[in-house]
Amino acid sequence: MRIESPRYTERFGSVRINDVQEVLELDSGRAKELPLEENIAVLKIEEDTIKDFEEKMAIVIPTRDEKLKLFEGVISGVPHECLIIVVSNSERKRVDRFKMEKDTLSQFCHFTRRKALIIHQKDPILAQAMPEAGYTDLLGEDGLVRDGKAEGMMIAMLIAMMAKKEYVGFIDADNYFPGSVWEYVRCYAAGFSIAKSPYAMVRILWRYKPKISAGMFFKKWGRVSEITNRCMNSLISSKTGFETEIIKTGNAGEHAMSLRLAEILPYASGYAVEPQELVSIFEGFGGVLPLAHQTAAKHGVEVFQLETRNPHLHEERGSEHLQEMLLPGLGSIYHSRLCAAETRELILNELIQQNALKPGEKPPKPQLSYLPKKANLQKFTEDMEEYLMGLNSETGH
Ligand code: GDD
Ligand code: MG
């Protein structure tokens, strides 16, 4: 594939945030031994390179009661080389939707000769293995893993670490276009292939997010993204002293990380997870607060923002849901130790304007969790590996 070179990079301590890079060509043809022309504004990522990175990548699909047809489409779009990890929080009582997802995945793996892993977020064996490994961050009062997309993502990261993958990418299960899923993964691979640091993150910016009202309108920015990006940029500007618009993917649900980066970040619960990842990176490596990790700081943390060709079409969940997303996301910026008074004021004004807060109220403070330390992961692996393989005996294991 061909993508734009990173033309502008903003530095915040040891964090390098690259401006948006567009995809120019989804398929750039065969590898040529000698490049005919040298075009430094454009990067050609060879198919073999993309496959090399896909092989080292787990693609995580968090799902909760999504239409099975959508789930089926999404898994069909994940490139063959990637390991699919599904963490489901779907209903099991009235209708066993989890079983339907598992059967769909098994059938897919059978006919495509590939491997995948699926687990339910509320699996009691999983919940038992965590405290035994000395790790309780994700458990709720009932002793099971809490609800939430972020909690599902974290379980999947543990599984990706167990599977010895080097990269982990996230893709929502409610996506209508399998072709866009395929493009996201290629973008993840392309981003990692040009990263200079092993501590890297790739965030997807959709070219369009169509809305269906009277007809189809190819909207570019969602309201939540616009506001989150503005507040995130304000947080950076207040520390660097230079106004910036560098962040365009503050909420990116579709994103990927090297596991070396993933294992050292704290994560927020639910929908605050994506903005909090950036906040955690700025706090840990922005050079304003004490460094979170010496080696990562030495290499630097790199953030790429890739703009796709496919539009993004997913399930519409109404305006109440937008508030449910906006509030925790802005809460993660508001409560950051980096957040200056002017950014706090901006956040409160935005939230009041969107009727997400009343005057005098504050956004909620995010609940932060870490992935388990190496020793705990080892014990967790011992407890879980066999069980997970048994559970997934029909998905290529
Ligand atoms: N495992 C698990 N557990 N998955 C869940 C849960 C849960 O408790 N809750 C939701 N999901 C799954 C959904 O089924 C879907 O596949 C994905 O997580 C995202 O949830 P949506 O409800 O579709 O979120 P959204 O479309 O409003 O927001 C998406 O885009 C935002 C950026 O625009 C999400 O990816 C957000 O995280 C993101 O910030
Ligand atoms: Mg969605």
SS3 readout for 124-176: HHHHHHHHHCCCCCCECCCCCECCCHHHHHHHHHHHHHHCCCCEEEECCCCEC
Q: What is the distance in A from the centroid of ligand 1 to the CA of 197?
A: 29
Closest CA to 71 of 36, 26, 118: 118
Ligand 1 binding pocket includes 283 (Cβ within 6 Å):
no
Instruction: Decide: 172 and 75 in contact? Cβ < 8 Å.
Output: no
pLDDT of residue 267: 96
pLDDT of residue 34: 61
What is the rounded average pLDDT for all residues in the chain?
Answer: 94
Q: How far apart are CA 397 and CA 393, in angstroms?
A: 5
Average pLDDT over residues 287-296: 96
Ligand 1 binding pocket includes 317 (Cβ within 6 Å):
yes
pLDDT of residue 78: 98
Ligand 1 binding pocket includes 228 (Cβ within 6 Å):
no
- The answer for residues whose C-beta is within 8 angstroms of residue 112's C-beta and 6 or more apart is 80
Q: Which ligand is nearest to the CA of 270?
A: 1
The residue to mutate among 59, 60, 61, 64, having the most atoms of ligand 1 within 8 angstroms of its beta carbon, is 64
Burial state string for 340-377 with b = 16 or more CB within 10 A and e = fewer than 16: eeebbebbbebbeebebbeeeeebbebbbbebbeeebb
Share of the chain above pLDDT 90, in %: 84
Q: What is the distance in A from the centroid of ligand 1 to the CA of 195?
A: 27
The two beta strands, 42-44 and 15-25, are unpaired
Average pLDDT over residues 382-389: 92
Q: Look up the pTM and report it.
A: 0.96
Other beta carbons within 10 Å of 44: 17
| 3-state SS class at 213 | coil
Q: What is the distance in A from the centroid of ligand 2 to the CA of 24?
A: 26
Q: What is the distance in A from the centroid of ligand 2 to the CA of 374?
A: 33
The two beta strands, 42-44 and 2-4, are antiparallel
User: For the chain, what's the residue count?
Assistant: 397
- φ/ψ of residue 142, rounded to 5: -80, 5
Is the confidence at residue 175, as pLDDT, over 80?
A: yes
pLDDT of residue 352: 95
State the closest ligand 1 atom to the C-alpha of 271, by its place in the atom list counted from 1.
Answer: 37
